[in-house]
Amino acid sequence: MARKFLYAMAVLIALVFAGRLALTFYGANLMGLALVPRHGFEARPPLAPTAYADPALWLSRPGLAQDPARLRPAGLATSEAPLPAAVFFIHPTSYMSAAHWNAPAGANQADSQESDRLARMLVRAMASAFNASPDLWAPRYRQATFGAFLADRPERTAALDLAYGDVRQAFHAFLAAIAPGQPIVLVGDSQGALHLKRLLRDEVAGKPLARRIAAAYVVGWPVSLAHDLPAMGLPACTAPAQSRCVMSWLSYAEPADPKLTLAAYGRFPALDGKLPGGSPFLCSNPLTGGTSGMAPASRNRGTLVPDAAMEGGKLVPGMVPARCAPDGFLLIGPPPDMGQYVLPGNNYHVYDMLLFWANLRADAAARVAAWKPAA
């Protein structure tokens, strides 16, 4: 069963956010020795065509018993209107083993039990921001191991391709299960955001499905304005009531020192196949719903933090402000007291979604409300 919620927060920095942590520490030899598999890539066949008909391959979906995404933290309104959209959430990395380049397919293999437990914790903390929707889905997938992000080798690409294949297959199952014409909210964090970028390019851009996307939240992984966004088929969100658009941010407290992230950003190929180099990337402000302006902490409806009993979470309003800096990072003022799990340079990647949990909930509701079906 799920462990106490505070432990979920504690392990986030060490175990589950391969996207930004990998960018920050890319090339760190000692970490690579411990976490990068030393053998060649193990080719695996695709999952069975009907694999995602099995509820066991979902961390969250309608009707699932003990669904971790159904957390309702203290401070959340006891009654609220349901979100009339289907939500597809892709969780960050929770597989840390160097035994394989990709996590096993199920939750019961010996080296995937810990990974699956951590994945449930992540869904509990992050996907819960969107659980006003009764149609919230979060697949298990054979994610690339954490060490894959530390390896500048062909195995990294192969591992990510395998993981993405599962995500894409799960997305097709999700589309088949939800109501025709229903609006859709897409969410991915860290490795999940990396896969979501590809999903937008392959399944949304230039296709009728684009009309059904109320919003896409690509969090904790850079979205290049020149090399990613044009291929994703949706523009950046520039207003809080805008639908069919993309939100993306990477959080730093001040003084911010993002040079390690910037140095590594250019080494991961973008959606157009090119290296993004130092090209600008998208910065969305979760407190304003746009890409500009400074929002004071008073506009923050609630940061999700653990309670003293270590058994749940509570929303604390007014903890952090937010403004997009010229370099594309989201600045949140002086370092807030979120615990000891902050990366060097005041990098708050682990908290990218939790810092703005209540605002994300409201933002999704506003974009779904603004969404109109295709004429």
Report pLDDT digits (tens) over 206-259. 999 999 999 999 999 999 999 999 999 999 999 998 999 999 999 999 999 998
Which sequence spans correspond to the domains of the chain?
Answer: 5-370
- 72-76, 97-101, 168-172: the lowest-pLDDT one: 97-101
Q: With 70 as the cut, is the pLDDT of residue 33 above it?
A: no
Tokens of 282: 């998208």
Write out pLDDT tens, residues 165-199. Answer: 999 999 999 999 999 999 999 999 999 999 999 99
Q: With 90 as the cut, is the pLDDT of residue 290 above it?
A: yes
Q: What average pLDDT does range 272-288 have in this prediction?
A: 95
Look at residue 19 in the predicted model and tell me its pLDDT.
Answer: 45
Question: 287-318 burial by CB neighbour count: b if 16+ within 10 A, else e?
Answer: bbbbbeeebebebbbbbbbbeeeeeebbbbee
Assign 108 a pLDDT band (cuts: 50, 70, 90): low
Assign 28 a pLDDT band (cuts: 50, 70, 90): very low
User: What percent of the chain lies above the pLDDT cut of 90?
Assistant: 63
Position 153: which residue type? R
Task: From residue 354, give the alpha-carbon distance in Å to each of 166, 302, 358, 361, 373.
Answer: 26, 9, 8, 11, 31
